[in-house]
Structure 1
């Protein structure tokens, strides 16, 4: 497994859990040391147990050496990051190319590299050309694409029991081994009737980004409708429940609120737009610009509501932000809506105190200008406005009577639409939910 970030560490550990011998390789020596000692450098439920169990069983190890990777395996998964480029919307592929440049010259015999990173369509073909130019005489390296569909908080389950496996192969390559080898790697999942879909390379490259674009569109759709609900006096939660009963629509990803964040959806849809323009079909994805805009508007809307609730001015007001991770069951703060709202309110003079069950360390490193509490009670103490920014279970189950004894004023902005409004209003709280009267 080349790359041991969120995707790579999870995949390596789960491949070992499935009975394979697995090696995780990364240039980050500190990360490799932590993983080697059975410590996961991020929060993911269930992963520490899988990691420790397979290290102890001798099926899983870690290294910073490409030489070790070349000697260890003939099947290599490529799972390094493809962040948004610093000078545009497109994906930065430097880490992906670096893996090929460093690994392929060391390989002897026949090898398969299965890409899992989210990349622009056409990348796999270019990587194959690069690999061919670097392969030793008498050896062969085949590039195929095997996109990941992990959900943070459910990554172990999604790897061990996936809902589908997609493998893109070079349909012009004679004697391709990608499909047969992939079927062997995923034999247990296939035996449990997991759909195994074989496509050409471009299709496999597009599957993940298309899925993320669809999910982002669904989230922004319900958030756009919630804007209408607010001015019309409708209730977006009831509306979402009603349309979600339609089998053609379904209930998932129809919770209106603060919108999406994280390391995938925002940067993937922007990269999708950018690459479509490079291909000359930019107009086909123009709607994704509005998807992105709707999502960002939700953050500004929460800031506006907080300001209004504070009497029209946030200067000197104490605000409690419950949540820092972009979603519950994660410590990932990449493009976190909650933290962006907190930082915006602080820039307007608010005294913002943040608490999150797992993301505090990451939040403090990125937003040192904010204040941080040791627990929920400390965050609430003396607050004029409370914002529920990440729907952790402990925030959803807060006792409004107990919380009332801690705050200065009983003002709650439920930016995730998860609180029982009647219960909170019975406790004499003023509760504002996005898209609800």
Structure 2
């Protein structure tokens, strides 16, 4: 028996969750249940895996469990970028091996296509738009990053546009940035609204239990999942709970539970919208990895996302919320001095499951146990496609993308504590300090 030492418990003020359409959460599980299939985690990965398993096995009930309400956890807390392009931060041109890059591109676009098809089919109100993204820089080293990535995109044969600082206000309003690299393939969306819509459009043979916190697990001929109000005995278990998957006895000492912080403003008035100018819907990611992600949303709010913390216990930190909300205010004021009276309505944290070598896990973990884990910050597309393909693999299917995922070496082992925390916290401190005005 394995006792689960940490369970999801996110902070309350996620702006995406509170501004998404309201849905009625499904009741939690109670009593004893026996089932053939159980998927743990109802984010992008788990929803995709449960949906695809249900299509492969229409006569079986697929049990899907989440520790919180759907749309409240990690999948509803990202910045809402469904990115297609590969971005290998270990390569000089951010593309690296061209064969791996092309397979990664195909993988990401498959995830995009799955989501776009479901949004259209079920009329999910998540403001998904093929808006592209701006990767923007202020300082010389940020410009150098854009130049390197441009060379990589040339090698990959993907389109882009270089936009000078003097022309950027026509796109995003602000004069803050010196240059941006625009790539057209990203879809922008409201992540919590998308996750809620995906949950409410699951096939009829998927049984969703929300607010069901698994506290113990036993492995054997069958897998037994225990919680405060009962237990679920399942033939097959699919772990789709990202960083928390490492708490279930597998892939120990491989994942870095990082938390990234965001604030969402109140809606801009018509006068403020005119003062800002630019397009009505856009997203900016930073050239510096410790810089700010910024969005103007469908309801004319401004999202600011920056500041990291390393939380080995995988619990949110209220003191970080207060401190980093101040960072968001400073970042906002640097970019939008024309909007001096715009306050934030919401500030929250969201978990990132990062690995040292930026590789996730896909495949079989043990007899009767499978996993698609550790999305390394690309959960919208990567979680969707790996969840779908894992269900295909379990059903006996193989294709080039499944083979590509199975050929990956997987996440590397991390240094032991306390060296890990010392090293990660020092890296975060230096990276955020070095980012300067890019943050």
The alignment's TM-score, normalised by the length of structure 2, stands at 0.22
More strand as a share of residues: 2
More helix as a share of residues: 1
The alignment's TM-score, normalised by the length of structure 1, stands at 0.22
- Asked which structure has the greater RCO (Cα within 8 Å, sep 6+), the reply is 2
